[in-house]
Amino acid sequence: MSLEKLKEIYSAAGQSQVFTFYDSLDEPSQKSLLSQLATIDPARVSRIADTVLSPAPEAGPSEIAPLPDAATASVLTAPASQIEEWEAQGISLIAQNSVAVVLLAGGQGTRLGSSAPKGCFDIDLPSHKSLFELQAERILSLQKLVGNRTGKTEVIIPWYIMTSGPTRAATETFFNTHDYFGLNPANVMFFEQGVLPCIDNSGKILLEGKDKAAVAPDGNGGIYRALVQEGVLLDFAKRGIHHVHAYCVDNCLVRMADPVFLGFASSRNVLVATKSVPKRSAKENVGLIVAKGGHPAVIEYSEISEEMANRTVVDSESGKTELAFRTANIVNHYYSVEYLNSIATWPDNYLPYHIARKKIPCVDLETGEFISPSKPNGIKMEQFIFDCFPQLEIAQFANLEVRREDEFSPLKNKVGTVGEDDANTSRADLLKQGKRWVVAAGATVSDSIVGVEVPPLISYVSGFFRCGMDSVFGSEIEA
């Protein structure tokens, strides 16, 4: 696109300030700036900026209620026969090669004390396997499990890994260096989430340098736009994918393409489903999956009153007293491809934009000097993956409650800072799970052993041990 055309487009959008220093740049810097600006839709940026800076008044408080029983189920209380039925249906879908897994892996390990992509992080297991390796081995294990169960000779679960600008190259290098952890590279696809320009308090795009607009990743809700723009939906169609499991990289216990979850969601014939875990306590600060205004939604802990947080009900199946609002969001989703194929028709406001006021290094437009601000001077805009829920009817949505100790142990913090959700807790949770599994398989584990690492290649979940564990069955494990 020519300089004149770009200037016309940016001027019409009220963003002509991005050309402030253009004439003073050398030719390579001019080309770099024009190349970047050609990838940005300034009119869209201005529309979003207007929305976040001058939000429309809310129509009024919407009623918040727990999800209706018809939209939920729980592996904690469901009969074993029901879980087996879901599992069998999920295995059938995988055997048809109609299931894909999408990984949200755009984050860096900055809060963990690492500059590498978070998926490269070693939680200090005895094997020192990274999060990426654990997850790759679970895919391999599940493919073999499904093949053995169904007699299918080639079971493929393609893995789509969403990176960001800062993590793309390092992630691909990590996979190449480790030979894709045994997976066929043809079935591992990397794609990149989008970015949005950073704006000042009046909605103008900030310049990171005289030849570069300041941008930031568009949040995990950027997955939807990226699925279209990066050609992922086209690849789904080419492969015959109808069911998608999406999850975050930082959960060391995640069960990718979990047959139980897939069977549950497909049996309900819903467009979107989630997994959740019960809240630890009424005061746990965690997002909640609820019905808001008659639609599924994720709300912050602060959006409910103390009375609501402490409200209890008697579970109709177990007879136990439970928190009424206990459905903790763990960003673990099922999508029908039918639903994802509608993304291209979504209007700009289908998902809301959230703002974060940040200290954003930038160039002063009047002096040309670089500014490293001491207080927030700008705004980063992002979307959240779960903000599509309110666009659905309750009948199009379902939630499956799972055991926290089996499926959720997030890695968020550096060891020694918060005391939870760090490498120590992730490692402990994984090793404790392994101990439970080998005990269930018939081994006797010494009390002095806190946990056992069970490689995913040996077992995808408890009860599905493959080769290599014969010496454990009926034996005793000592320290």
**What are the pLDDT digits (tens) for 69-81?**
999 999 999 999 9
Burial (CB count within 10 angstroms: exposed 0-12, middle 13-18, buried 19+), residue 62 = middle
Element (H, E) at 99: strand 99-104
First to last CA, the chain: 67
- What distance in Å separates the CA atoms of residue 220 and residue 234, rounded to the nearest whole number? 20
Statement: residue 126 has pLDDT above 70:
yes
Statement: residue 26 has pLDDT above 90:
yes
Long-range contacts of 108-112 (CB under 8 A, 24+ apart): 108/166, 108/167, 111/412, 111/413, 111/414, 112/411, 112/413, 112/414, 112/422, 112/423
Higher pLDDT, 318 or 437: 437
> What is residue 299's three-state secondary structure?
strand
Across the range 98-121, mean pLDDT stands at: 91
Burial (CB count within 10 angstroms: exposed 0-12, middle 13-18, buried 19+), residue 406 = middle
**pLDDT > 70: percent of the chain:** 96
Inter-residue contact 331 to 106 (CB < 8 Å): no
> Which of the residue ranges 110-114, 186-190, 281-285, 341-345 would you say has the lowest mean pLDDT?
110-114
pLDDT band at 464 (very low <50, low <70, confident <90, very high): low
What's the CA angle centered on 218, arms 214 and 221, to 5 degrees?
175
Neighbours of 48 (CB within 10 A): 22
At residue 304, the pLDDT reads: 86
Statement: residue 112 has pLDDT above 80:
yes
At residue 474, the pLDDT reads: 46
Global pTM value: 0.92
Statement: residue 160 has pLDDT above 50:
yes
Token pair 């959006």 in the structure block, residue:
303
At residue 209, the pLDDT reads: 97
At residue 164, the pLDDT reads: 92
Statement: residue 116 has pLDDT above 70:
yes
Statement: residue 288 has pLDDT above 70:
yes
- What distance in Å separates the CA atoms of residue 241 and residue 97, rounded to the nearest whole number? 7
Statement: residue 468 has pLDDT above 50:
no
- What distance in Å separates the CA atoms of residue 420 and residue 424, rounded to the nearest whole number? 8
Give 243-268 as a DSSP string: EEEEEETTBTT--TT-HHHHHHHHHH
At residue 267, the pLDDT reads: 98
- 40-273+330-412 CATH choice from 3.40.50.1820, 3.40.50.300, 3.90.1010.10, 3.90.550.10: 3.90.550.10
Across the range 157-166, mean pLDDT stands at: 96
Structure tokens at 401: 């409650």
